[in-house]
């Protein structure tokens, strides 16, 4: 008995000690967080310059991190929310402490539609009479596009400006499949549904070349038109400059009025000092856009009781819960049900930035949107992408508003399954199947696709395509034959989509919110963001949770941004399940 009492006492003592340690640890966390919070406090002094450094990833939606360790150990991903950047620029217009803006960034880590939205907001800022200046050691095309809005654009004397037009490259794997015996079995509907084309051929089809040429020209024309106004040049002149690479060095760029001078950083800072009226020996007061947002300038203050809900559909569409990187029907349905129950929410704006994904998840989300639309006006705002599944969930809104450079449409579906039967034969592996019924075995990775399996899967693809077309026809008040003619998996820019009836007007997220307010007949309102994400507190204490928090930043650091993007894209394709309503390719426009 003595031993048992001592054992129980020891166990109890361990639990008490652990409880005390936990309380002490949490007090430490709270104190440290408070201390760090004081260190991070930003003060915007008089005569300050708002600096736009856009190298951190810009996303449509960056939910606030509620993991207690993410901020404490600086594991929060370095991201900016687009609307907060736009709001910061808007607030700077009337902020007496902000004298002007300096665009000072090596690149713009955003999609072309997001970049255009920032540029348009900078144009509005210029109406305040405050200055905008731009400087970089080297400009890529997206950076130059945004920076060209400035009163003056400067580059390092040994720098360069990339301005050569847009291009897209797609890799083809058919020969690789034949040589290795590893292939992708593909079943699709849509002659433009070229997500799977690289696995079926070793060169680009004419249909694919046609659509890529079309939307690249549409986006380029938009870029050229914006730059032509800011730099006082014609579109023809700008295309000659691009064709001849007349910005390949500062001298040529200055000669052709694409920049206003070549300076070193200290000389550029001298110009900023003159503009703010301080002496050469004084320090510039510079506040980064991220720090400016942290002071509360990332939102437009309002005491209105009525709300417009902005529901963000961001990332690939997957069947399941979804998270901050993927659109899952469970989180979207949960958010929409909460929105419907909230009487203070008068309308909904669905902000879509997605290349599509699971056809089933897309249909489930659309159904919940249709239920919401019966109660409250529903407006769609399209970002960089609203293609395939991204268009599927958009098609039945009261109004669809796209950016001119949005990539949308892609009304088509496909199924894709890996097969290694040829490789297995080459290395001496034989798979044998046993089943109770004619179709019980189904598909095997080690056997060629059977005619029966191909027939059934093709039937499923055709059924989903027919459903997709009917959903769009009903939502857009078009005939099914019309939708089929502009469907077939083809993608369009927002400008092109407006001409063929897939969207109602061109504009920004702010425009979409205004339209939603008009439909709801409210004039005094504020916005509220959905979905809401909450970290289960106990998850913070799981083994290696700190490592998981920083994994993305570590991979970016080790691989570089471009290689990390390739890694993410390959991972996405490896996780595709079921019939896909997805944009026809993964593409980075440069």
Please give the average per-residue pLDDT across 333-337, as a whole number: 97
DSSP result, 64-80: PP--HHHHHTT-S--EE
Min mean pLDDT across 151-160, 319-328, 472-481, 571-580 is at 571-580
Please give the average per-residue pLDDT across 236-263, as a whole number: 97
Please report, for residues 18, 40, 56, 340, 511, the alpha-carbon distance to residue 43 in angstroms, rounded to integers and kept in the order given: 41, 10, 22, 40, 32
Q: Is the pLDDT of residue 151 over 90?
A: yes
Look up residue 136 and give its two tokens.
């970089």
Give the pLDDT confidence score for residue 173 in this predicted structure: 87
530-545 per-position pLDDT tens digit = 999 875 555 554 544 4
Give the pLDDT confidence score for residue 37 in this predicted structure: 46
Domains in the chain, CATH or no CATH each: 48-164+245-297 (3.90.226.10), 307-416+449-530+545-582 (3.90.226.10)
Residue count (the chain): 590
Please give the average per-residue pLDDT across 157-177, as a whole number: 91
Look up residue 508 and give its two tokens.
């920004």
pLDDT bracket for residue 568 (50, 70, 90): low
pLDDT bracket for residue 280 (50, 70, 90): confident
Which of these is catalytic: 388, 394, 421, 508? 388
Which of these is catalytic: 193, 307, 346, 376? 193
pLDDT bracket for residue 40 (50, 70, 90): low
pLDDT bracket for residue 446 (50, 70, 90): confident
Q: What is the overall mean pLDDT for the chain? A: 86
338-377 per-position pLDDT tens digit = 999 999 999 999 999 999 999 999 999 999 999 999 999 9
Asked if 388 is an active-site residue, the reply is yes
DSSP result, 436-491: SSTTSS---TTSPPPHHHHHHHHHHHHHHHHHHHHHHHHHHT--HHHHHHH-TT-E
Give the pLDDT confidence score for residue 24 in this predicted structure: 54
Please report, for residues 103, 207, 392, 535, 581, the alpha-carbon distance to residue 360 in angstroms, rounded to integers and kept in the order given: 43, 27, 11, 27, 9
pTM: 0.84
Min mean pLDDT across 414-418, 452-456, 563-567 is at 563-567
Give the pLDDT confidence score for residue 331 in this predicted structure: 96
Quick one: what percent of the chain has pLDDT higher than 90?
61
pLDDT bracket for residue 293 (50, 70, 90): very high
Q: Is the pLDDT of residue 185 over 50?
A: yes
The answer to whether residues 579 and 413 touch, using CB atoms and an 8 Å cutoff, is yes
Please give the average per-residue pLDDT across 550-577, as a whole number: 53
Q: Of the segments 128-142, 159-173, 174-188, 546-560, which one has the largest average pLDDT value? A: 128-142
* Cis peptide, bond prior to residue 419, ω within 30 of zero: no
Q: Of the segments 201-205, 374-378, 537-541, 568-572, which one has the largest average pLDDT value? A: 374-378
Give the pLDDT confidence score for residue 569 in this predicted structure: 53
DSSP result, 234-294: -HHHHHHHHHHTTTSSHHHHHHTTS-SEE--HHHHHHHHHHHHT--TTSPPEEEEHHHHII
């Amino acid at each position: 008995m003595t031993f048992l009492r001592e054992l129980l006492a020891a166990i109890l003592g361990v639990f008490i000690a652990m409880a005390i340690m936990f309380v002490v640890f949490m007090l430490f966390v709270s104190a440290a967080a408070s201390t760090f919070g004081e260190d991070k406090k930003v003060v915007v002094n008089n005569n300050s310059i708002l600096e736009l450094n856009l190298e951190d990833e810009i996303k449509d939606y960056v939910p606030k991190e509620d993991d207690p360790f993410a901020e404490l150990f600086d594991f929060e991903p370095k991201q900016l929310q687009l609307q907060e950047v736009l709001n910061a620029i808007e607030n700077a217009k009337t902020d007496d402490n902000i004298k002007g803006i300096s665009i000072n960034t090596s690149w713009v880590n955003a999609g072309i539609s997001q970049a255009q939205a920032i540029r348009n907001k900078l144009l509005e800022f210029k109406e305040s009479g405050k200055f905008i200046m731009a400087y970089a050691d080297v400009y890529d095309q997206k950076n130059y596009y945004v920076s060209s809005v400035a009163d003056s654009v400067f580059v390092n004397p040994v720098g360069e400006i990339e301005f050569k037009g847009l291009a897209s490259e797609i890799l083809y794997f058919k020969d690789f499949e034949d040589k290795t015996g590893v292939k992708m079995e593909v079943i699709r509907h849509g002659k433009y549904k070229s997500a799977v084309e690289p696995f079926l051929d070793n060169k680009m089809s004419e249909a694919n070349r046609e659509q890529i040429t079309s939307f690249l020209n549409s986006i380029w024309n938009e870029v050229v038109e914006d730059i032509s106004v800011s730099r006082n040049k014609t579109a023809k002149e700008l295309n000659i400059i691009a064709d001849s690479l007349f910005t390949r060095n500062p001298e040529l760029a200055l000669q052709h009025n694409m920049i206003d001078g070549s300076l070193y950083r200290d000389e550029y800072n001298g110009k900023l000092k003159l503009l703010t009226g301080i002496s050469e020996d004084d320090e510039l007061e510079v506040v980064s856009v991220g720090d400016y947002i942290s002071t509360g300038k990332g939102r437009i203050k309002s005491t209105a009781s009525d709300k417009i809900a902005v529901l963000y559909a961001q990332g690939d569409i997957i069947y399941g819960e979804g998270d901050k990187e993927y659109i899952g029907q469970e989180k979207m349905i949960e958010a929409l049900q909460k929105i419907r129950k909230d009487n203070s929410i008068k309308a909904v704006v669905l902000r879509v930035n997605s290349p599509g994904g699971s056809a089933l998840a897309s249909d489930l989300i659309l159904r919940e949107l249709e239920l919401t639309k019966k109660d409250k006006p529903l407006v769609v705002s399209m970002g960089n992408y609203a293609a395939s599944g991204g268009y599927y969930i958009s098609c039945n809104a009261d109004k669809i508003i796209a950016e001119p450079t949005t990539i949308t449409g892609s009304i088509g579906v496909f199924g894709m399954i890996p097969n290694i039967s040829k490789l297995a034969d080459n290395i001496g592996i034989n798979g044998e199947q046993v089943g109770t019924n004619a179709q019980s075995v189904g598909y095997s990775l080690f056997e060629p696709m059977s005619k029966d399996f191909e027939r059934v899967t093709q039937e499923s693809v055709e059924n989903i395509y027919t459903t997709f077309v009917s959903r769009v026809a009903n939502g857009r008040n078009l005939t099914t034959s019309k939708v089929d003619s502009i469907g077939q998996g083809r993608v369009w820019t927002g400008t092109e989509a407006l001409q063929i009836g897939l969207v109602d007007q061109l504009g920004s997220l702010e425009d979409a919110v205004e339209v939603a307010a008009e439909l709801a007949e409210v004039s005094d309102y504020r916005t509220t963001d959905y979905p809401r994400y909450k970290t289960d507190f106990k998850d913070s204490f799981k083994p290696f949770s700190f490592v998981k928090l920083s994994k993305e930043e570590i991979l970016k650091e080790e691989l570089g941004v471009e290689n990390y993007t390739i890694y993410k894209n390959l991972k996405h394709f490896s996780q595709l399940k079921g019939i896909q309503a997805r944009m026809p390719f993964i593409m980075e426009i440069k």
